Amino acid sequence: MKRREFLAASAAFAATSQPVPKGKAEACIYIWLGGGAAHTDTFDPKVKGDGKKKPGSYYEPIGTAIRGEKVCEHLSKTAPLLDRAVIVRSISHGISAEHAAAANLVHTGRLPSGTLQYPSIGSIVAHEKGARTEEVPAYVVMGYPNIMRDPGFLGAKYGYVYLTQTETGPTGLIRPPDVDLNREDRRETLLGKMRDGYVKRNPADEAVGQQDAVTRQAFKLAGPKFLNVFDLQREAQALRQSYGGEFGQRCLLARRLVQSGVRFVEVSHNLNFLNGSGWDTHNEGQLNQHLLIQELDSALSTLIIDLEKNKLLDTTLIVVATEFGRPPEFDSGGGRGHQSLAYSMVLAGGGLKTGQVIGRTGEIGKEVVERKISLPDFHATIHCALGIDPHKNLFAGDRPVPITDRGEPIREVFA
């Protein structure tokens, strides 16, 4: 080992040997901006470009509750509330060519392995914290199933319940109209005997045991406590309007899910119909990007205020995440390509030391010039906020796997 490598390894060991901070958050709402949200057009505005040859932001900047810091003009409702948030402007990783690989990295904090499927951050939280009651799941996704959200080697027990419509709830938990309670009980009694026998005959089959646990949990979730969470009509009409459209209603439902005892809720915001391309703003997608930003603004600002009014903001960590940012230059169609070496994500609430910006990018947002934050570091920060040790080992069979890939929390955000 060369001297420089030895010193780097020693520094890394010293960092991981320090006690990690322990936050007081009890739940996490993870807002996913699928497609790659442009940091210079949202949370890291720069000098304004011309949409053609001159690189820079697409919109005007406005002031925020963080002294001296600005965001895009279309975040006008969120800007006055950013004293409850931390803007991390120096996220950096090396995958910019492909959306799925970058999204998987942001969800798992690791590059793919040839031998292991790593769990998503939601599954790790479900594994370490569990739901606060047996009548609700630990992990809910509002969006389509995807391997990046999966439990990996942790097994099906730490997977998620997903839904695509806020009004109906998870359709897989709703009893068919031709099956009454008595018929359902008879079915479950018969199936239960067969399942119990199979589990007893195959005690070493971990997959069977996991599936058995999932099935039993599903019947508990089909009860009224969990399914009533999806009745948004119970909320005041003015509040629902304040949250906005479908994405806003998902954020309102996320608050209700956290309130019911769910630990980790992912809210997907990749609604392409608003601007034709979602957050993947190549070519003409850039022209109506402001519609997406305004929708995010209404939902995020109302979520912060709503959690605060319900005395949940200090114990609920909000994360605004995306797979990568976008370069300050414009493409031939007036849109932007991909950029992963320097972009922004946001943390809010969760008992953190908020009202600050971490990291800094250069004059036009092309590179990190101060306090580079890796994906393992960002994951470690989320875990610490939730009281989870990011250096703890999980086990894939007999193989120890640390919760993060040598990630170090952003210590400045812990009081």
Helices 99-108/121-129 angle, 10° precision: 20
Q: What is the pLDDT of residues 95-116, one digit of tens each?
A: 999 999 999 999 999 998 888 9
Q: What is the pLDDT of residues 367-378, one digit of tens each?
A: 999 999 999 999
Who has greater pLDDT, 272 or 366? 366
The pLDDT assigned to 273 comes to: 66
C-beta atoms surrounding 100 within 10 Å: 12
The pLDDT assigned to 138 comes to: 96
DSSP code for 42? T
Q: What is the pLDDT of residues 233-274, one digit of tens each?
A: 999 999 999 999 999 999 999 999 999 999 999 999 976 667
CA dist 407 → 7, 85, 372, 378, 379 (Å):
18, 21, 12, 7, 7
Q: How would residue 180 be classed by pLDDT, with cut points 50, 70 and 90?
A: low
**212: helix, coil or strand?**
helix
Is the pTM higher than 0.95? The answer reads no
All structural domains of the chain: 20-174+222-413 (3.40.720)
Who has greater pLDDT, 24 or 176? 24
Q: Is the pLDDT of residue 175 over 60?
A: no
